Amino acid sequence: MLIRSLEPLEGVATMQRNRRVENLRDLARGPGRLAAALEIDRRLDGVDLCRVGPLWVARDGREAPEIGTSTRIGLSREAGRLLRFYVRGNRFVSGPKALNR
């Protein structure tokens, strides 16, 4: 799984300190920025994101947003496959706007 961006809702001050950035949209937009904001490095390679641990994906109790799909950015092989998933209309989604509809 490759998570390319997130909308900072909690821990914003910590993420801003980690990235030395105040602009919320630029805080965790793109895989490199996201990794820096959350202090994700090679020590977390192989961590199961579905189990509680140092890093995991969990439900927050909010209503599930509308999910969009598009082609992955920068692929040459299987470039037409819909392998990119994102929250429709979210301003924190990275990539070209044409792919985020």
Q: What is the DSSP string of 29-96?
A: BSHHHHHHHTT--GGGTT--TTSSSSS-----SSPPPPEEEEEPTT--TTTTSEEEEEETT-TT--S-
pTM for the full predicted model: 0.75
Question: What are the backbone angles phi and psi of residue 84, rounded to the nearest 5°?
Answer: -120, 130
Q: For residues 42 and 34, what is the distance between their CA atoms, to the nearest angstrom?
A: 14
- Whether the pLDDT of residue 17 is over 90: the answer is yes
User: Tens of pLDDT along 19-55?
Assistant: 999 999 989 988 899 999 999 999 999 999 889 999 8
Q: What one-letter code names the amino acid at 67?
A: I
Q: For residues 72 and 69, what is the distance between their CA atoms, to the nearest angstrom?
A: 9
The CATH homologous superfamily for domain 12-99 is: Methylpurine-DNA glycosylase (MPG) (3.10.300.10)
Question: Where do the domains of the chain lie?
Answer: 12-99
pLDDT of residue 101: 64
pLDDT of residue 18: 96
Q: What angle do CA 40, 42, 45 make, to 5 degrees?
A: 90
